[in-house]
Structure 1
């Protein structure tokens, strides 16, 4: 992966993490850095899943890929919030 790919994954991960956090109802007890990390991981995994189902390369915006990534980010934020709430 080239440096431009890494930078774009980080930027997209930030957006995905924030959108995933907005989807989860209520107050989350995780910091912004964990949200960004969850977003980056969700963006990478979501891209792989979308590529496996051949919905990643379309003409225009890849809405299905974005929905998969946001869903994964929301799951990640909710999971981290629950582990933080138990402490």
Structure 2
């Protein structure tokens, strides 16, 4: 992986994590946490959404995918926190 690709991953993850934090109120984790949530969300969405027949290309599509996955992840985290 090149440095440029890593930087793009971090930016997409940060934007997606921030968007997810705005959508799912009260579950933001700060800049580093949002990057992690966005990247994990991107993997989650990359696994789930193609199986549902949804496909989006380009950088905007990557951000949308990652944000959808991050929202799903934040909802799951919120449910787990409530259960404990």
TM-score range, shorter chain: 0.5 to 0.7
Give structure 1 regions of 4+ aligned residues with deviation exceeding 6 angstroms.
Answer: none
Aligned-residue CA RMSD (Å): 2.9
> TM-score by structure 1 length?
0.64
Is the contact made by 1:42 and 1:69 (CA closer than 8 Å) also made in structure 2? yes
Structure 2: tracts of 5 or more residues without a match: none
Higher helix share: 2
Asked which structure has the greater CA Rg, the reply is: 1
Structure 1: tracts of 5 or more residues without a match: none
Equivalent position of 2:6 in the other structure: 6
Is the contact made by 1:35 and 1:77 (CA closer than 8 Å) also made in structure 2? no
Question: How many pairs align?
Answer: 80
Aligned counterparts, 1:44-83, within 5 A: 44-46=43-45, 55-57=56-58, 62-63=60-61, 65-83=62-80
Q: How much does 1:73 deviate? A: 0.9
